[in-house]
Chains A and B, each alone.
Chain A
Amino acid sequence: MVGKPLRWMMTNHLNQKPLSLSGIPWFCYVISIASTCIAVGLQWDISWHMTIGRDTFWTPAHMVIYLGGILGGFTSAILVFNMTFFDKNEGMNSGVKFWGFTGPMAAWVCIWGTVAMLTSAPFDDWWHNAYGLDVEIISPPHMVLAAGFIAIVFGAMLLTLVQQNRSNVSNINLYSWLYTYTGGILILLMVILTTEYSFTNKHHSLEFYKISAIVYPVVLVAISKSSKLKWPATIAALICMFHRCIMVWVLPLFEGQPLLAPIYREITHFVPPPFPVLLFIPAIAVDLIIIKSDKMNDWVRSAAIGFTFVSLFFVVQWYFSEFLLSESARNWFFSGHFNKPYWSRMGPYEFKFWEYDYRGFGPPIPLTPVSIAGLFSVTLIAAISARVGFWWGEWMRQVKR
């Protein structure tokens, strides 16, 4: 009934001695590759929209995203199939139950993510027909898609985390590295999702710091709390930054030109994303606080992380963004001068901090200038985000199925 390769794959489930590279089971690699595909595909797709504009179901960038979804979904389905039907003795007691089936927690999260990605496809298609092709990242069908790929990456984290958390498993350090790597991918997804709020030109607005305070502390704290590496949040932030930098440096090596009108600037090569935020600096502080304050109450630790995160992130990014908008950053390394899409008009505004947010239609929305009171509210948000990270991280530290 089941072919030989499939049987081979299925005998390498969570509880058995792994038959794979460096003792790590195949699905941990596959699911990590799936996460990477999703992150790379998304950035490539955004660059495709900024460079060429015209896209179809079959663009290479879309293919890479689909590959990520398919790898995540199929790997999880195989694990569930095996645990439910072929491994009734051990499997039933090492997975979690879901509507009569048994599988690793990670597999259920990945399957949920795959279904969410599938749901977004007809929804997004209808959305384009009803409201026009969106050139925005944040739209309802895109958020369903985002929920899907976040779930797959989160599932990837869980799959390696389970191995790390089982004391009887060898190569714990390798699992921790894989886990922290997928954590870095999750941070990268946050970076991608908040692109529209994080243009360098908005780094002097309160909105940028607010959105950063919502999305980053929670993930950094959760990773720092659950990974067994020494500096997990810092490493994950560096992995995220490295990924982003690779895209910044590699994409412009390929030729591409706009295929839609109106074209407001000459574009001959793929447009890279903006240079990443220096998240690793507050991440060092997050790791440090978590290491040094093990006995303290999590609320107090969250408050300390919130304050430290905002202080460091604000000071570093405030001045770094000034550099990114300066002439010194107009080179291949920082891509300060060619990260705008073909539909964006050229002008001095490109190298200034914006006072308004411009959307597809409607009047410009004023951006809030940074103030002491504003930073206080951002600190509060960051502290809450960190507290959620502690809860999440504590659960992840214990997850074993």
Chain B
Amino acid sequence: MNKKLLFTSILLGCFSLTFAHVGSLNVFYEGKAGPYPIRVIIRPPGVVPGLAEITVRSLGEGVEKVTVQPVKYDTGPEGSPPPDVAINVSGDKTLFYSELWLMAFGSYSVNVDVYGGQGHGRAIVPVNSIATRQLEMSLLLKGILTALMVFLVFGGITIVGAAVKESTLKPGSKTSKERIKKSRISMLLGALIFIGLLYGGRMWWNSIENQYQENLFKPIEVTLEVAIEDGTRILQISITDEKWLNGFYSPLIPDHGKMMHTYLIRIPELDAFSHIHPVSIDKDQNTFQVIAPPLPGGNYVFFADITHESGFTQTLVDTVLVPEFSGVEKLDNLTISRDPDDSWRMGYSLPDLELDSAAHASDLVNEKYLVEWVNLPDRIIVGTEVGFSFKVTDIEGGHLSLEPYMGMLSHAGILKIDGSVFLHLHPIGSISMASQQQFEKQAGIKPQHGSEHKGHMDMDHSQYMEGGMHKSSEVVSYPPIEFPQPGQYRIWIQVKVKGKVLSGIFDIYVHPQIVS
């Protein structure tokens, strides 16, 4: 099997098993709770009902108490229990930890209330409550339960035998041969009953397991096709999912102005990359279209982030064969137009990263702008926090000022090369702003999407200035991230400079945790 076919089959295989926020349910958020800058990480359990872990780190001074409260969208704050006080992790005054039960499927938010010298502040962090996890029983537990089961079965059979043989005898009298015979027959019958019970239990367990499997979250199903109109390639996304068509989901709402944030990436090379925004062409939001970017043809993987009115978010996943680009685009007569925020880049094929090599720590975009991962560690370990800050430099020394790109200072796309992990991040974290706004609206508080949510545009960049007011570098910082699986990843960091979107490419290898 050639490399291309192998990559494609792995990708397709993985996509059939993946889910919203592909490969990771963890939620990262960095913003302000009133006057207090905080960073929140929510680790949902992957089962429903289940216990989510919440850590809140104060990024400033004066935080004395943190409380957390789960809010389900359909009941709102009125249907929420009193908040829990997060415990201050010993030895670290800035870190608070709590656990919260997410009892039902659907859209939740966690109200993080912070108290301190500057009063009270609240941050609302949306989180999905879905079942995604399949847990195997450990060998140790299997052994313990099997031993106990053997004891119960053989003990039970012995009790049945004893009941027939001796239990009805007067004290002091001895059992007869006939009783012994009856006892053996009853033990045999008892054994058959226990076998029947075990078999019935097994069937019951299997049926629950099957129900659970059916209940595991699967993103909305779509079918993709590319039509050519006037020599221009139009990608059409049709939602074919029965749950969607039957009204199980609430309608879609725009997230920073777009109904669908789509990453279209050529596989297996991951060289052609685009961040595009399909628009709905019918009132039921069943069909979306977008003009394909002027990139070469081939097999592409499609990831589309959507947000529902309920605040629920999910990532649609599919692959599509895109015909070769003719070299000419006639956009004037089309029924749809290209979104001005659509961006793309023809990069380079995946390198074969040596396991020991750290990563590609920088990328020169358009032969003018150097994008560097400034806090890239020597070795990235799965499940551990990794600094995620990038410096953009105009190597020609021209003045550089990053502009907001769809309301954010930067967008990051992270893809494990086998397709089993895909994350779309912003400097505020992994949450959907639209989802957060829905919960803020419900709670009757003013949406925060002002200065706090522009990412880190207001940070002090003086260290990167090259004399006077002139600066040729700027840094964009994301909250530290955790990679959920070991393996090779490709990352695209997008920023906007002078009206143009730059997409820096980074290749990294994430090492497994060493179990000592």
Contacts and interface: CB of A to CB of B under 8 A. Distances in A.
Contacts of B171: 14-15, 90, 93-94, 166, 400-401
Contacts of B75: 261-264
Contact of A343 (B103, B105, B145, B162): B103
Contact of A118 (B141, B148, B172): B148
A128 to B, nearest CB: 8
Interface in B62-98: 69-72, 74-75, 78-82
A105 B163 contact: yes
A122 B145 contact: yes
Contacts of B101: 53-54, 133, 260-261
A96 B166 CA distance: 6
Interface string A109-123: 101100110110011
B69 to A, nearest CB: 8
Interface of B is mostly: mixed
A109 to B, nearest CB: 6
A362 B173 CA distance: 58
A85 interface: no
A108 B162 contact: yes
Interface string A242-279: 00000000000000011111111000000000000000
B163 to A, nearest CB: 6
A57 interface: no
Interface in B130-174: 131, 133-135, 137, 141, 144-145, 148-149, 151-152, 155-156, 158-159, 162-163, 165-174
A329 B105 CA distance: 34
B162 A105 contact: yes
A131 B156 contact: no
Nearest to B154: A99
A80 B114 CA distance: 59
A395 interface: yes
Interface string A357-381: 0000110000000000000000000
Question: Which range contains the number of A residues in contact with the other chain?
Answer: 35 or more
A93 B172 contact: yes
Contacts of A362: 211, 214-215
A399 B168 contact: yes
Interface in A92-110: 93-99, 105, 108-109
Contacts of B70: 260-261
Contacts of B208: 131, 139-140
A262 B76 CA distance: 8
Given A97-B166, A98-B159, A259-B82, A119 B148 contact: yes
Query: Which of A96, A361, A362 is most buried by chain B, counting CB atoms within 10 A of its CB?
Result: A96
A12 B494 CA distance: 83
Contacts of A90: 171-172
A400 B81 contact: no
Nearest to B80: A261
A332 interface: no
Nearest to B170: A400
Given A105-B167, A261-B75, A126 B137 contact: yes
A108 B165 CA distance: 14
Contact of A119 (B105, B131, B145): B145
B167 A401 contact: yes
Nearest to B166: A96
B388 interface: no
B108 interface: yes
A129 interface: yes
Contacts, number: 150
B141 A122 contact: yes
A347 interface: no
A135 B105 CA distance: 14
Contact of A258 (B81, B133, B165, B211): B81
B354 to A, nearest CB: 38
B72 A140 contact: no
B169 A401 contact: yes
B49 A132 contact: yes
Contacts of B135: 126, 129-130
Contact of A53 (B79, B103, B151, B211): B103
A123 B152 CA distance: 14
A96 B165 CA distance: 8
A171 interface: no
B152 A131 contact: no
B270 to A, nearest CB: 35
Interface residues of B, number: 57
Contact of A135 (B49, B74, B169): B49
A126 B170 CA distance: 45
A362 B354 CA distance: 48
A400 B169 contact: yes
A173 interface: no
Interface string A375-401: 000000000000000000001001111
A108 B80 CA distance: 47
A375 B156 CA distance: 35
Given A135-B49, A260-B101, A122 B81 contact: no
Given A133-B49, A362-B211, A263 B148 contact: no
A8 to B, nearest CB: 22
Nearest to A167: B170
A53 B49 CA distance: 11
Contacts of B47: 128-132
Nearest to B140: A122
B155 A115 contact: yes
Nearest to B81: A259
Nearest to B168: A398
Interface string B28-59: 00000000000000000101111000000000
B326 to A, nearest CB: 49
Contacts of B162: 96-98, 105, 108
B199 interface: no
A72 to B, nearest CB: 15
B205 interface: yes
B464 interface: no
Contact of B158 (A98, A257, A258, A263): A98
A126 B144 CA distance: 12
A118 B145 CA distance: 10
A401 B166 contact: yes
Nearest to A123: B145
Interface in B119-139: 131, 133-135, 137
Interface of B: 45, 47-50, 69-72, 74-75, 78-82, 101, 103-105, 108, 131, 133-135, 137, 141, 144-145, 148-149, 151-152, 155-156, 158-159, 162-163, 165-174, 201, 204-205, 208, 211-212, 214-215
7 contacts: A53-B101, A53-B103, A115-B155, A119-B152, A126-B141, A132-B48, A343-B103
Given A122-B144, A259-B82, A260-B81, 14 more contacts: A93-B171, A105-B166, A112-B155, A115-B148, A115-B155, A122-B145, A130-B47, A131-B212, A133-B103, A261-B75, A261-B101, A262-B75, A262-B79, A399-B163
Q: What are the 7 closest A-B residue pairs judged by CB atoms, nearest first? A: A94-B171, A262-B72, A132-B47, A130-B135, A262-B75, A398-B168, A96-B162
